């Protein structure tokens, strides 16, 4: 008796939802820079579009005067997270650590955050939504991790507890 084996390949299409694509989204002006100057700090962040229509978040972080962070925020949503499990960031960084932050409601005082490290090359960073933990002013809150059906705000933040310059080039943010 001859055993025949059949290999079945199943192609699964993963649907993605664009949260923001700097190359095609006309709402660039909805991004806002928020630095530690709101608390008396001395950090200075900027956000521009480069010649390739990528967002460039750059500047300096200063720990002077109890400062230590720079961020950019976008509130041009909501975007549904139903049937989505990951955030995909298409970025080119400077080998530094950054946070990606989300809120399910714009008026929340806290954000859900996770950290990522950039390699210095173009890369797609995949972040699991269930790993985003609630945090307020650098303190982890005693609440469940992100488990909501939509996102109303996204943000990038750098705050590595040291004086440093930074540059993060962002092409797109999608949900998968």
> The CATH number of the domain where 57 resides is what?
2.60.120.430
Q: What pLDDT score does 136 carry?
A: 96
- What is the rounded CA–CA span in Å between residue 92 and residue 125? 10
**41 is a domain residue:** yes
pLDDT digits (tens, 9 = 90+) for 10-61: 444 568 999 999 999 889 999 999 999 988 999 999 999 999 999 999 999 9
**20 is a domain residue:** no
**13 is a domain residue:** no
How many domains is the chain built from? 1
**85 is a domain residue:** yes
**104 is a domain residue:** yes
Q: What pLDDT score does 39 carry?
A: 85
Q: Is the pLDDT of residue 88 over 90?
A: yes
Mean pLDDT of 107-122: 97
Closest CA to 36 of 154, 157, 173, 118: 157
- What is the rounded CA–CA span in Å between residue 69 and residue 86? 25
Q: What pLDDT score does 93 carry?
A: 98
**129 is a domain residue:** yes
Q: Are 101 and 89 in contact (CB under 8 A)?
A: no
**139 is a domain residue:** yes
**115 is a domain residue:** yes
Backbone phi, psi, residue 30, to 5°: -85, -10
Q: What pLDDT score does 4 carry?
A: 45
User: Percentages helix, strand, coil for the chain, rounded to the nearest 5?
Assistant: 5, 50, 45
Backbone phi, psi, residue 100, to 5°: -110, 130
- DSSP letter (8 states) at residue 40: T
Q: Is the pLDDT of residue 98 over 80?
A: yes
Q: Are 45 and 58 in contact (CB under 8 A)?
A: yes
């Amino acid at each position: 008796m001859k055993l025949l084996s059949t290999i079945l390949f199943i192609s699964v299409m993963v649907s993605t939802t664009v949260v923001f694509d700097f190359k095609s989204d006309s709402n660039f002006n909805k991004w806002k820079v928020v630095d530690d100057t709101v608390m008396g700090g001395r950090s200075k962040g900027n956000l521009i579009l480069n010649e390739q229509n990528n967002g460039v978040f750059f500047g300096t972080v200063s720990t002077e005067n109890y400062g230590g962070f720079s961020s950019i925020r976008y509130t041009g949503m909501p975007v549904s997270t139903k049937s989505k499990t990951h955030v995909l960031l298409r970025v080119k960084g400077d080998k530094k650590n950054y946070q990606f932050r989300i809120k399910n409601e714009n008026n929340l005082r806290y954000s859900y955050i996770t950290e990522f490290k950039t390699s210095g090359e173009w890369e797609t960073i995949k972040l699991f939504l269930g790993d985003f933990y609630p945090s307020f002013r650098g303190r982890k809150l005693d609440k469940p991790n992100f488990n909501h059906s939509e996102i109303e705000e996204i943000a990038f933040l750098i705050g590595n507890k040291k004086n440093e310059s930074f540059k993060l080039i962002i092409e797109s943010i999608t949900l998968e």
